[in-house]
Structure 1
């Protein structure tokens, strides 16, 4: 499970056996979200609204890095 970023208590990661569409998993404590990288669509969420907004903002800020990491990781398989 490659971890891409730990910031403000949020952990951004993907699993080694991922599938399309490209997405990022985010956890903070017991809360969790799955966000599609192309559209920032929330596919799953247990975050409180404030935490989800922060997770989305961080995903948008780091989206290019996440996309590059996804492409690099899965191109080696």
Structure 2
């Protein structure tokens, strides 16, 4: 599960050949969630409101890059790192 970004202790990853819809995985301590790239909705798991807000802010800024990484993952190609939230 390649890590594509990390900020404020939040780790963003994406699996190769993962199931649709396009999404990414978030880990922060014991919190875990799967977030839709297209809608930025939580598909599975949960994050505390502050953590979720940071993740959604980051994802909204990088949706095109997340879609690109999703396509690369579907082709088993190396994923590109995405700038962290600052």
| Aligned length in residues | 77
1:47: which partner in 2? 47
Gaps of 5+ in 1: none
Structure with greater proportional helix content: 1
Task: Provide the C-alpha distance between the structure 2 equivalents of 1:76 and 1:33, rounded to a whole number of angstroms.
Answer: 23
Q: Normalising by structure 2, report the TM-score.
A: 0.78
Corresponding residue for 1:69? Answer: 69
**Structure 1 residues 1-77: aligned runs within 5 Å:** 1-76=1-76
Q: Give 4+ residue runs of structure 1 displaced > 2 Å after superposition.
A: none
